[in-house]
Amino acid sequence: MVPAEVVLRERGIEALSLRELARDAGVSHGAPRSHFPDRAALLDALVARGYERLADRAEALVHADLAPRERPLALGRAQLDFVLRDAALADLMYAAKADGPSPAVEPGVQRLHAASSTVVATSLEMLRGERVDPLRTTLLMSSLTQGIAALIGSGRVPVELGEVLLADALDLFADGRLPG
């Protein structure tokens, strides 16, 4: 893990500064500027790493030897684990930027979206026996996963209930069954 990720995880976004990172690394306060012209570039690099890590996990599930019901559950678990383990990074990744997403972030976002769409759409099509809209279905599943993570992160829902809620969401998408 890179030092900036450690600071973000342990002390939050407010503690992230190029000067503090340089001091922690034992280099001159100007040294980080050779990599990141400003704090925004550092934050963009962290966000890009976060999306790349999630994309790696999603891509691994595209060809995973799992049952159709297990693949989207594994994707949801991976997203939930990421958000719970790296809450500050996830908050940074999902925060709206006034000027839109950075071009540095786009490759990871596109990889994550492509892999997630493949996992979700192909699994649900197998389970439902009919075609589903990959974009809408994936966005809905991702929204549910992020919402579940937000509820857990805020302490309103216990961690153990996260897995149950993911399974309930999949049941709803796969065959229209609501929790009983």
Convert the pLDDT of each residue in 104-115 to its tens digit.
899 999 999 999
**One-letter amino acid of 6:** V
Give the angle subtended at the CA of 130 by the CAs of 57 and 110, to the nearest 5°: 30
Nearest 5°: phi and psi at 15? -85, -10
Beta-carbon contacts of residue 60 (< 8 Å; ≥ 6 apart) = none
Convert the pLDDT of each residue in 149-164 to its tens digit.
888 888 899 988 988 9
pLDDT at site 28:
55
pLDDT at site 21:
63
The answer to whether residue 144 scores a pLDDT higher than 80 is: yes
pLDDT at site 14:
79
Rg (alpha carbons) of the chain, rounded to whole number: 18
Collapsing DSSP to helix, strand or coil, 108 comes out as helix
What is the number of alpha carbons within 13 Å of residue 6 lying toward its C-beta? 7
Nearest to 88 by CA among 1, 163, 16, 162: 16
The answer to whether residue 68 scores a pLDDT higher than 80 is: yes
Convert the pLDDT of each residue in 3-61 to its tens digit.
777 877 888 777 777 666 656 555 555 555 656 777 788 888 889 999 999 999 999 99
Mean pLDDT of 173-179: 71
